[in-house]
A = this chain, B = another copy of it.
Amino acid sequence: GIPATVLSVSICVCRASSIQEDSAMENIVTEKKVEESHRQDSADLLIFIMLLTLTILTIWLFKHRRFRFLHETGLAMIYGVLVGVVLRYGIHVPRDISNVTMSCHVNASPATLLVNVSGKFYEYTLKGEIGANEVNDVQDNEMLRKVTFDPEVFFNILLPPIIFHAGYSLKRRHFFRNMGSILAYAFLGTVVSCFVIGLLMYGCVLLMKQVGQLGGDFFFTDCLFFGAIVSATDPVTVLAIFNELQVDVDLYALLFGESVLNDAVAVILSSSIVAYQPQGDNSHTFEVMALLKSFGMFLGVFSGSFALGVATGVVTFTKLRDFPLLETALFFLMSWSTFLLAEACGFTGVVAVLFCGITQAHYTFNNLSPDSQDRTKQLFELLNFLAENFIFSYMGLALFTFQSHIFNPMFIVGAFVAVFLGRAANIYPLSLLLNLGRRNKITSNFQHMMMFAGLRGAMTFALSIRDTATYARQMMFTTTLLVVFFTVWICGGGTTQMLSCQHIRVGVDSDQDNPVSVALVSITEGSERRSTKQESAWLFRIWYNFDHNYLKPILTHSVTFISVCVSNNPLPSHQNECQLKDDDSDLILTDGDINLTYGDITVSTDASGSHTSGGPAFAGAATSDDLDRELTYGDHELVMRGTRLVLPMDDSEPPFTDPHHRMRM
């Protein structure tokens, strides 16, 4: 290292040091200054609000006209880019001379600095490091720097509602059905992707060093860090289109589940890599021990965050049924405190909040009054919408207003190739492995679709903007922005084309207004489900039994459901089981889901003729008779529920059903 023991003190006062006015005068000047700065802040924030307003109005227009080529997030980015260009090149605000800065050369950068101005002490807080080349520009680009938010805002304010909403709106039935595959993609896949991208980028960086294209340090850990942050997929655009076009629910569940969980994996992976970073300058190499330590940290942080999220999710026993306002407020505060608690404990807030959301949707949601259920859903929906669009429009803005962009064409090209190959190394080999175990195979067109739907979004951006101090990080940030733009615009915009190109069926998960396809799906799904359940049975079954026999009855108070079930089921032992089905069906957040829930039950009257059709295939794997009972008593349930939704299904369907049924098996 450079042994620099600098203690040079030199204050360059840019303002002409005129005769010092009296304190009253100075107070007024300070007040005026503060007021002016406050006014400027408001104007800056107004830019973002206007951007969001514009986005909303355009989204409305698009939805109204059923344009699907551009999602709201893509749109927000475009507006952000436009405003960024205007701010960068269009506006030159003449700065007040009293706003100038001064420099103290000192030998440390404490978090708090006290400045003594003629006997008065002013407190300054550390904002961050500024690149040496920017020091002279501080004056000019104050406007641009003003619209640059503190990166922690993204992590602490904007990301939690998005992640929570993802957890909260997870369609648990489909999620748990494909749990094995989702976990494989999210954990194994993300780690594979991280290392593949990291290694490819390290190759690229070495090449750049050879060619002389590298302008600063870029260590292997930086490459791995880059791999981690761009491994977080966020197919919000794709999923919105899937939802609209009612694409296959299993594909939806795989993509959504993977994207939700790999955010958690990526954030912990990146922080583990930072922690793995060596202590000295010369040790930026690969060390097995440090890697193991890092891996241990990954597991520790993950399980800690997971446990914390689940714990607070479960703890929120709301019994304030008579006061929806209090209930909603409590629900909101508990979710937020999960985040804060995790951060305060040194865990990862977003992971905790994700599992808190999943747990709350599973247990706490049932305890809420119907009014509060609506309120919380709508509240988190709104927060998610605002936060997401804000982040994406900020991304667009940052392309032009961020001060330390390093556009390195070679690195960018390398990154695009690496991201593509990393995604491929995640999806294809894992799908191959998973298909060995899955009865309901992940077909190659599904694999291509998942490959294509590997958009990068809010999490990748938030991780990359968190630290832009070094050369490596700045280059990463610029490249990450471009990756996000490309994937959101090109891959997001081409989703419908890709769907039709891959011949993936749409209109599968349809509403009640299309009774034929409901019944049709019910049956195919039913048979599929049995087989899927079988392959992930060992994991699913243990959890399922424990949860539904012990946790749910304790943690939810669905007394009315129990009594209904008891009256229908003469056997008291089926009481819990009966209750859980009801709970599951009213847990689900979007109406498309309800069809499937009932679809599962209609299995017992499907094309195969009798309700024992699934029995033999099942008996082998069944360690508990719980699921069997579920099937056996399925038509008993049907009597109770048939009036609601399953009515369209009658015997005229089999001709339509059978081909599909066979094709999918």
Binary per-residue interface labels of chain A (100-120) against chain B in the complex, 1 for a CB within 8 Å, 0 otherwise = 111111111111111111111
User: Which segment of A200-208, A332-340, A485-493 sits at the interface?
Assistant: A332-340
* Residues of the B chain whose Cβ atoms lie less than 8 Å from the Cβ of A126: 122-124
Q: Verify if A50 is at the interface (C-beta below 8 Å from B).
A: yes
* Residues of the B chain whose Cβ atoms lie less than 8 Å from the Cβ of A323: 60, 63
- Contact between A114 and B110 (Cβ–Cβ < 8 Å)? no
- Contact between B104 and A104 (Cβ–Cβ < 8 Å)? yes
Q: Verify if A563 is at the interface (C-beta below 8 Å from B).
A: no
Cα distance, A120 to B110, chains bound together (Å): 13
User: Which segment of A26-34, A86-94, A427-435, A513-521 sits at the interface?
Assistant: A26-34
Cα distance, A68 to B318, chains bound together (Å): 23
Contact residues on A (Cβ < 8 Å of other chain), bracket: 35 or more
Binary per-residue interface labels of chain A (45-87) against chain B in the complex, 1 for a CB within 8 Å, 0 otherwise = 1100110110011011001100000000000000000000000
- The answer, among B31, B131, B278, B375, for a CB contact under 8 Å with A378, is B375
Cα distance, A13 to B277, chains bound together (Å): 29
Q: Verify if A280 is at the interface (C-beta below 8 Å from B).
A: yes
- Contact between A117 and B106 (Cβ–Cβ < 8 Å)? yes
- The answer, among B4, B101, B326, for a CB contact under 8 Å with A113, is B101
Copies in the complex: 2
Q: Verify if A22 is at the interface (C-beta below 8 Å from B).
A: yes
- The answer, among B9, B100, B277, B330, for a CB contact under 8 Å with A57, is B330
Binary per-residue interface labels of chain A (133-151) against chain B in the complex, 1 for a CB within 8 Å, 0 otherwise = 0110010001000000000
* Residues of the B chain whose Cβ atoms lie less than 8 Å from the Cβ of A344: 39, 42-43, 46
Cα distance, A280 to B29, chains bound together (Å): 12
Q: Verify if A129 is at the interface (C-beta below 8 Å from B).
A: yes
Cα distance, A25 to B278, chains bound together (Å): 9
Known contacts A111-B37, A113-B101; decide if A333 and B118 are in contact (CB<8 Å). no
* Residues of the B chain whose Cβ atoms lie less than 8 Å from the Cβ of A30: 109
Q: Verify if A132 is at the interface (C-beta below 8 Å from B).
A: yes
Known contacts A56-B330, A132-B120, A326-B59; decide if A9 and B11 are in contact (CB<8 Å). yes
- Contact between B281 and A25 (Cβ–Cβ < 8 Å)? yes
Known contacts A281-B22, A333-B52; decide if A121 and B106 are in contact (CB<8 Å). no
Q: Verify if A211 is at the interface (C-beta below 8 Å from B).
A: no
- The answer, among B4, B42, B116, B281, for a CB contact under 8 Å with A104, is B116
- Contact between B121 and A132 (Cβ–Cβ < 8 Å)? yes
- Contact between B103 and A110 (Cβ–Cβ < 8 Å)? no
Residue of B nearest to A386 (CB): B329
- The answer, among B1, B33, B107, B152, for a CB contact under 8 Å with A17, is B107
Offer 28 A-B interface pairs, CB within 8 angstroms, sorted by A. Answer: A1-B25, A4-B20, A6-B119, A11-B106, A20-B107, A23-B281, A24-B284, A27-B470, A42-B343, A42-B344, A43-B344, A46-B344, A49-B337, A52-B333, A99-B111, A102-B106, A103-B114, A104-B104, A104-B116, A105-B116, A106-B117, A114-B135, A120-B132, A121-B135, A325-B381, A328-B378, A329-B385, A379-B379
Listed from nearest, the 7 A-B pairs whose CB atoms lie closest are A1-B22, A124-B124, A42-B343, A105-B116, A43-B344, A42-B344, A6-B118
